[in-house]
Every structure is written in structure tokens, then in C-alpha cells.
Amino acid sequence: ALVVAITSNRGLCGGFNNNSMKIAKTAIAKHQENGSEVFVLPLGKKAFESFEREGYSFAEGFGDAALTVFDNLDFDTVSEIAQTIMNGFVTKQWDSVELSYSQFKNAAVQIPTHEPYLPLLPVSDETTSTDYILEPSREEIVENILPNALKVQLYKALLDSNAAEHGARMTAMHSATENAGDLLQELKISYNKARQASITTEILEIVAGSEALGA
């Protein structure tokens, strides 16, 4: 199996990266429990660093584009990565492919998502009475449409994750700014208390000294 783990290239975005990697590692563990060999394709430096540190097996043949694509989203580059994934599936390098990423809901909410990519899930067996005339043949249409659909699916997952990362970072930085403001206020109060105590002590010492001299 191949697990594509999508994360950002940078930190300071709350639990965004950890949540994506957590669901990817959970899926990998399930495959390993079933005796399957699992390869990881990290799309993002944070995923690469984490999986490398823990000794996971990486899929080969993707080059540096896999590590840089997150910050330089380009459909042509994503298409090349998707095509390499499809080629590996066709040549049986992996018997299934799954995506782990974060869906963007809003700036404050990102949904960790794990979904199948290959093989394609069959649709319902509902039949239709309409007799369609297909030109070119059904097989040729499928051969042309499916690769493009898979490229778009991967591109969408990356776009979703990219938007989710920005939302997570904005939320994290907003929270950090508020916490810093609260801490600054506490420090000001502590400073003023210490300053007042110091002034009071000095006044008492002066008064005591004056009384001693007068005596």
C-alpha cells in the first residue's frame, strides 16, 4: 500500500501537521497489522521529517517536487506526481493508494481526512433504460477521463490542505498574540508591585535613619 501524507513545510500552525500525520500513521499501522508492506509518500517537509525520524519506508521516484509542491502549488507538478502514483499502481509497486490530509472547513476548523485514492471504488449497480451512444468507445472515454480525475483529486487535496494550513496558522498566531498580551499585562502588574514595594522599603529606611539621627 502507498499512503500519501500531506502536511506543510513549516510549523507554527497549531496541531495541523500532527493531526494529518496521526491519521496517516493510524492507517499505516492497520495495513502493517494485516501483513501488508506500506510505503509513504510525504508531500510536505514536516511529514518527511517525521516519517524519516521514525524509520518508515518511502516511495521512490518522486524527486524533490514532492517536498516542495505544498508551497508551490502548480497543477502540472501535481499531475506529474499523480501520474507517478498511477504508474506505480499499474505496475503493482503498491496494490492500493490512500490520501491523508486536512480538509478546510473554515479558518478555525480543519478536518483530518483519510480517503482511498486507488483502486477506484465501484459505483452502485443501478441500471438505466436510456441507451446512450458513446463516441469514442466506453473504454477510450474511461482511459482519458480517469487519469485526469485522479490528478484533480490529488490537486484538490493539496489545495484543501493549503487553505487549512493558513487557517490553522492564523488561529494559532491569533491565540499566541492574545496570550502574549495577557502575559505582558501580568508582567506590568508584577513590575508595578515590585517597584511600589521597593519605594516603600526605601522610604521606611530613610525614616528609620532620620529618627536614629534625631535620637
Annotated domain spans of the chain = 2-121+132-172
Which three cell numbers, joined as nine digits, stand for 207?
525614616
Q: Is the pLDDT of residue 130 over 80?
A: no
Burial of 143 (0-12, 13-18, 19+ CB in 10 A): exposed
What pLDDT does 139 receive? 82
Please determine, for residue 193, whether its predicted confidence score (pLDDT) is greater than 80.
yes
In this prediction, residues 53-72 reach a mean pLDDT of 92
**Hey, what amino acid is at 167?**
G
pLDDT tens track for 83-113: 999 999 999 999 999 999 999 999 889 999 9
- Burial pattern 186-199, b for ≥16 Cβ within 10 A else e, equals eeeeeeeeeeeeee
For residue 132, name the pLDDT band (cuts at 50, 70, 90).
confident
Local confidence band at 129 (pLDDT 50, 70, 90 cut-offs) = low
Question: For a pLDDT cut of 90, what percent of the chain falls above it?
Answer: 71
Q: How far apart are CA 88 and CA 80, in angstroms?
A: 12
Question: pLDDT, tens digit, for every residue of 195-205?
Answer: 999 999 999 98
pLDDT at 210 over 90: no
Pick the CATH number of 2-121+132-172 from 1.10.3720.10, 3.30.1600.10, 3.40.1380.10, 3.90.180.10: 3.40.1380.10
> Closest by alpha carbon to 70, among 113, 23, 12, 9?
9
Structural contact between residues 78 and 167, judged by C-beta atoms closer than 8 angstroms: no
What integer best gives the mean pLDDT of the chain? 91
